[in-house]
Homo-oligomer: A and B are copies of this chain.
Amino acid sequence: MRELSVKTDSKIVLLVLDGLGGLPIDPSGQTELEAADAPNLDSLAARSDLGLSRPVAAGVSPGSGPAHLALFGYNPLRHVVGRGVLGALGVGFDLGEHDLAARINFATLDESGKISDRRAGRVPSEKGAELVENLNKNVKLDSAEVFITHEKEYRAVAVFRGAGLSEALTDTDPQRVGLEPLPVKPTDGSPEAEKSAALANAFVEQANEVLADRHPANTVLLRGFGMNPALPSFEEIYELDAAAIASYPMYKGLARLVGMELLKEGEGIAGEFETLRENWDRHDFFFVHVKPTDAAGEDGDFERKARVVEEVDAQVPGLLDLGPDALAITGDHATPAKLKSHSWHGVPFLLSSPYTLPTAESFGERACAGGSLGVFPGEEIMGLLMGHALKLNRYGA
């Protein structure tokens, strides 16, 4: 891809409705997308290439990290990105090559030292920010610097900066109340992991002292240790000047990981599309991330998920007015309301360009299953977009 990519004036939009893939509640019924009243998407589908994409592997439900890496054209089995890394990038932390990141939850310890609330009563964001400031001021480690950045409410991110760190570490969060926090342990025998575990445990110890009288936020739980995987950027691979419009930190983090510029999103779905319009002339690739489809699926709310699709549908004419040369509308994975969780099912995929072979009259999982792209790995999406935008040289004589 690197050898074939060429810089041109054409523009690509990758519109991701998080968790778009769905299932009928009764097998004979319709999926969320099929049930949605989405005339603009349907009429676009009738002029588009359709297919069902598979994010990671047969039967495997991907997390948001691997699912987006696949969407961006990176092999999600080869490139593993710790949740801490996504968190750090998501809050805008400039993660260096040797930095070790972890997610922090402020939490509550009872008098016996057991966790009574893994979210510290969902402390408000204002309070969370103050706690973070407090930690940054008072925690000092011997062998590394530590930077804590607040995310939202009870959530923050810690980044350890020093020589010879490793991400081969276990979490302190036991994922259940009524248990004591776990010590961080190395998962391999390397001296780097030993050192990093000691560092993380020293951090927790000091944080506990600093937070001792801040009940309910009197401790921190650490999880998702990870280091920057140093992925080659969109610029390097595709010669694209890519921008991202996403309202949730993790997706911003994923976009930054591959070198996309983060655009300040507006309010809600309409606001994201407004941002797209305002920045249309400044980039040649736009990743637009819509979260509420996934949230509705996770809540098991079939109707709400369909309504989010309808809300996006209303934005389609404006999007098409911008004149993208290649436009993909898809999800990162399936989140069927029926399952109330991410799933392994095929993800509906629509690609609009002047060079398509339409096969159906509507946008839906079954229409996509019979499409000209068939069932295909999500990792191929970027190649398809680059081809349809005429941004790839011919391969071989």
Which positions in A face B, CB cutoff 8 Å? 4, 23-24, 27-28, 31, 46-48, 51-52, 56-67, 76, 80-83, 86, 224, 336, 338-339, 341-346, 354-359, 365-366, 369-376, 380-388, 392, 394-397
Q: Is the CB of B62 within 8 A of A392?
A: no
Q: Is the CB of B339 within 8 A of A395?
A: no
Cβ distance A239 to chain B, nearest Cβ, rounded Å: 14
10 sampled A-B residue pairs with Cβ under 8 A: A27-B47, A52-B372, A57-B383, A58-B387, A61-B394, A63-B395, A81-B397, A341-B394, A344-B392, A346-B357
Q: Is the CB of A28 within 8 A of B47?
A: yes
Q: Is the CB of A372 within 8 A of B374?
A: no
Q: Is the CB of B365 within 8 A of A59?
A: no
Chain B residues near A357 (CB-CB < 8 A): 23-24, 27, 31, 345-346, 365-366, 369
Chain B residues near A384 (CB-CB < 8 A): 58-59, 344
Chain B residues near A62 (CB-CB < 8 A): 394-396
- Report the Cα distance A278→B339, complex, angstroms: 32
- Report the Cα distance A122→B342, complex, angstroms: 58
Of the candidates B58, B224, B341, the one whose C-beta lies within 8 Å of that of A383 is: B58
Chain B residues near A65 (CB-CB < 8 A): 396-397
With A336-B355, A355-B339, A369-B371 in contact, is A383–B61 under 8 Å at CB? no
Supplied contacts A59-B388, A344-B383, A375-B376, 5 more A-B pairs, CB within 8 Å? A27-B356, A59-B383, A59-B386, A59-B387, A66-B395
Chain B residues near A83 (CB-CB < 8 A): 397
Cβ distance A171 to chain B, nearest Cβ, rounded Å: 12
Chain B residues near A46 (CB-CB < 8 A): 27-28
Chain B residues near A386 (CB-CB < 8 A): 59
